[in-house]
A = this chain, B = another copy of it.
């Protein structure tokens, strides 16, 4: 599955800005299931060339959709429809990210030669001081 066609129809006389029309039509195609999460969109240049507009116009539309978390644009790679995972998956990803973060921390600590005891003690201390700092802040 490379990338699908993404047929957009622009009306250059409608008064609506081009980038708005692109935004609207992509949103509507997503709503209609023509586009699905994970789908790759054409590159800004490819779509721009097909629509006979400047690629900055497409980029502007993509940026708006990106800020709305509808698509994900990645410099050097491309743009994709955002996956909208159900809550339980989100929670799973959340835990995985904590797991990765913790893993990197533990790994780095061990690499530096600290013992399990030292690490867990330092974590306790750090959590404690963090909590105290938070309490102080709450009392302000």
Contacts and interface: CB of A to CB of B under 8 A. Distances in A.
Nearest to A35: B107
A103 B126 contact: yes
A111 interface: yes
A99 B27 CA distance: 11
A4 interface: no
Contacts of A105: 31, 101-102, 104-105, 123, 126
Interface residues of A, number: 58
Interface string A84-127: 10110000001101111111111111111110101110111111
Contact of A126 (B106, B113, B122, B127): B106
A28 interface: yes
B24 A38 contact: no
A43 interface: no
Contact of A28 (B95, B103, B130): B103
Contacts of A25: 100
A86 B113 contact: yes
Given A94-B114, A98-B118, A106-B130, 17 more contacts: A13-B72, A13-B83, A17-B74, A25-B100, A31-B104, A31-B110, A32-B99, A69-B111, A86-B112, A94-B113, A101-B109, A102-B122, A103-B126, A106-B126, A106-B127, A116-B131, A123-B123
